């Protein structure tokens, strides 16, 4: 078997990441110091030479590491050699701030030079008057395609699609298609399949590249196309589009409008980004921090977190009111105050576990009428089983700690009740919120915590008051 080797003068020089990355994957301090020195000196030629080997993702990391003034100066010094695709990998706050301070002519030139979906991603976060001013400077054809994508609602397939694709008539032969791809100068940079359309651009079928390369040149396109087409409507939610990719193991899929006309394509790299964004969004919502990003300032972070901290305060007051009902019992038996946090903490953690499983299942649409009852029963039984196990452990510890076996029995019973309540509330609260149209990722945590605190305190203190006759 022979091995292909590039001629010495044509071999690709692959950049060594150690030049600007440490072994831990962090930006190399010495390399960054040199970059900042060149920015300070305004050495455009050296900067271009230093930045040229970097992938667009690395450029994004560099931009985030620099101060606002340094990153603006870096982009200005790089000029035409700055790849605007790198802005798709930085935090929104960094991207918007940079775009706001760059001349509209530079931004227009930059977005016109990159793929349509990347350009839309950059433009969609800009205020509409500024966006219109930038688009007015973009060449007419690119401007029309960008406006068409931006007309689709945010977070839809139409916003994420690429408008560059190869469409063929069904009566062409394989030879004509191959000759066209060899000679045309407006093909996408990367593509995985061809799309067969009629004169109205209605999607008729698809042909994978490997299939067309294996066919004889005289073969008619309609004879080898796959007319069982998987397609996504342009106004479909991007998360739904990502699920289609996941379900059918797709690399590329057609995007059509309401009339089934081909308007663009989605590729797997776009969907990986969508999955990452949606997962990160769910994670932030579960923590009650909204759309906060690392690059946000103090004011934005406070604004993002304040609302749900306020809700948590209200629920915490409710739990405190339950404790207030048993203030006399606490005064007579200090051990109750010592053990109370154990009951609440264990119930809260158990509820969070059940809630996380449920919210994720709702997010990926794993729950339906056939398995929802089974999941409710499972979480209730898991809560009961964990309650019994930890009731024994905590009961023994409490009995030995305070020399009071009755106290061990009481906290054990309270643990069983609270863990069972945690399992049930951890699944029913997200399901209920989702049913009434409230995002369970945002609101579930506060309500589940409230239930476990209230039930835990009431069960523990109520049982103690009855058992020991405390008033």
Taking the CA atoms of 124, 126, 129 and 132 in sequence, report the sign of the dihedral they define.
negative
CB 263 within 8 A of CB 163: yes
* Domains of the chain: total: 3
Q: Which residues contact 429 (CB under 8 A, 6 or more apart)?
A: 355, 440, 444, 447, 448, 451
Residues 6+ apart with CB under 8 A from 77: 39, 42, 43, 44, 47
Cα–chain-centroid distance for residue 285? 11
CA distance between the termini of the chain = 90
Query: Which of the listed residues 265, 287, 309 is the one where a domain comes to its end?
Result: 287
How far is C-alpha 358 from the chain's CA centre?
18
Q: Looking at residue 133, what is its pLDDT?
A: 93
Q: Is the pTM of this model over 0.75?
A: no
Question: Can you give the CATH number for the domain in which 43 is found?
Answer: 1.25.60.10
Other residues' Cβ atoms within 10 Å of the Cβ of residue 77: 20
Judgement on whether residues 98 and 175 belong to the same structural domain of the protein: no
150 and 45, same structural domain?
Answer: yes
Residue 44 is predicted with a pLDDT of 92
Question: How much is the pLDDT for 301?
Answer: 65
Whether residue 181 sits in one domain with residue 33: no
Predicted confidence at residue 332, as pLDDT, reads: 66
Residues 275 and 204 in one domain: yes
Q: Is residue 4 part of a domain?
A: no
- Domain containing residue 453: CATH number: 1.10.357.20
Determine the Cα–Cα distance for residues 196 and 434; give it in Å rounded to an integer.
40
Q: What are the tokens at 431?
A: 């399901």
**Shared domain check, 186 and 149:** no
**81 and 34 in a common domain:** yes
By residue range, what is the domain housing residue 216? Answer: 167-287
In this structure, what are the phi and psi dihedrals at residue 238, rounded to the nearest 5 degrees?
A: -65, -30
Tell me how far apart the alpha carbons of residues 312 and 62 are, in angstroms, rounded to a whole number: 38
Q: Helices then strands (H, E): number in the chain? A: 21, 6
Using CA atoms, how far apart are residues 274 and 160, in angstroms rounded to an integer?
9
What is the rounded distance in angstroms from the CA atom of residue 260 to the CA atom of residue 253? 13
**How many residues belong to the chain?**
471
Same structural domain, 313 and 283: no
Same domain membership, residue 148 and residue 173: no
- The verdict on 200 and 305 lying in the same domain is no
- 3-class SS at 116? helix
Among 133, 157, 162, CA closest to 146: 162
Q: Sort residue 4 into left (φ over 0), alpha (ψ -120 to 50) or beta.
A: beta
**pLDDT 10s digit of each residue in the chain, 471 long?**
333 334 444 444 444 455 778 777 788 888 999 999 999 999 999 999 999 988 888 899 899 899 999 999 999 999 999 999 999 988 888 899 999 999 999 999 999 999 888 999 999 989 899 999 999 999 998 899 999 999 999 889 999 999 999 999 999 999 999 999 999 888 888 889 999 999 999 999 999 999 999 999 999 999 999 999 999 999 999 988 988 998 888 999 999 999 899 999 999 988 888 887 777 776 666 666 666 565 566 776 667 667 766 777 777 777 778 777 777 776 667 788 888 888 888 888 888 888 888 887 887 777 777 788 888 899 899 999 999 999 999 999 989 988 889 989 999 999 999 999 999 998 999 898 888 888 787 778 878 888 888 898 888 888 888 887 765
d(CA 55, CA 303): 35
Angle between helices 68-78 and 29-41 (to 10 degrees): 70
The full DSSP string for 220-235 is BHHHH-B-S--EEETT
Please say which residue of 287, 312, 341 terminates a domain: 287
Among 241, 257, 287, identify where a domain stops: 287
């Amino acid at each position: 078997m022979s091995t292909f080797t590039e001629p010495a003068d044509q071999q690709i020089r692959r950049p060594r990441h150690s030049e600007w990355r440490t072994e831990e994957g962090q930006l190399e301090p010495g390399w960054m110091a040199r970059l900042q020195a060149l920015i300070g000196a305004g050495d455009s030629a050296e900067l271009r030479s230093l930045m040229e080997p970097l992938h667009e993702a690395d450029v994004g990391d560099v931009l985030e590491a620099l101060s606002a003034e340094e990153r603006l100066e870096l982009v200005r010094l790089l000029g035409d050699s700055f790849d605007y695709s790198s802005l798709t990998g930085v935090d929104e706050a960094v991207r918007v701030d940079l775009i706001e301070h760059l001349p509209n002519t530079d931004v227009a030139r930059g977005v016109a030079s990159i793929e349509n979906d990347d350009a839309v991603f950059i433009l969609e976060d800009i205020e509409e008057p500024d966006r219109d001013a930038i688009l007015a400077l973009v060449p007419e054809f690119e401007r029309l395609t960008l406006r068409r994508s931006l007309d689709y609602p945010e977070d839809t397939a139409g916003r994420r699609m690429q408008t560059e694709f190869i469409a063929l008539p069904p009566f062409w032969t394989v030879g004509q298609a191959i000759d066209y791809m060899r000679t045309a100068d407006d093909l996408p940079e990367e593509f995985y399949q061809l799309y067969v359309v009629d004169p109205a651009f209605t999607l008729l079928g698809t042909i994978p590249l490997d299939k067309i390369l294996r066919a004889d040149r005289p073969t008619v396109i309609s004879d080898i196309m796959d007319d069982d087409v998987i397609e996504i409507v342009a106004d479909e939610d991007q998360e739904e589009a990502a699920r289609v990719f996941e379900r059918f193991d797709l690399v590329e899929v057609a995007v059509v409008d309401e009339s089934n006309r081909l308007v663009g394509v989605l590729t797997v790299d776009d969907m990986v980004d969508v999955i990452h964004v949606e997962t990160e969004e769910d994670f932030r919502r579960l923590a009650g921090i909204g759309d906060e990003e690392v690059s946000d300032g103090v004011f934005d972070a406070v604004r993002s977190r304040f609302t749900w901290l306020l809700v948590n305060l209200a629920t915490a007051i409710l739990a405190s009111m339950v404790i207030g009902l048993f203030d006399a019992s606490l005064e007579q038996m200090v051990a109750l105050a010592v053990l109370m946090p154990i009951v609440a903490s264990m119930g809260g953690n158990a509820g969070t576990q059940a809630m996380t499983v449920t919210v994720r299942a709702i997010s990926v649409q794993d729950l339906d009428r056939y398995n929802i009852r089974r999941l409710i029963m499972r979480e209730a039984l898991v809560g009961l089983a964990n309650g019994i196990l930890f009731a024994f452990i905590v009961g023994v510890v409490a009995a030995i700690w305070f020399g009071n076996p009755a106290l061990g029995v009481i906290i054990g019973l309270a643990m069983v009740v609270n863990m069972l309540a945690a399992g049930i509330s951890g699944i029913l609260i997200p399901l209920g919120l989702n049913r009434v149209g409230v995002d369970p990722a945002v609101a579930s945590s506060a309500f589940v915590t409230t239930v476990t605190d209230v039930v835990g305190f009431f069960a523990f203190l109520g049982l103690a008051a009855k058992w020991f006759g405390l008033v």
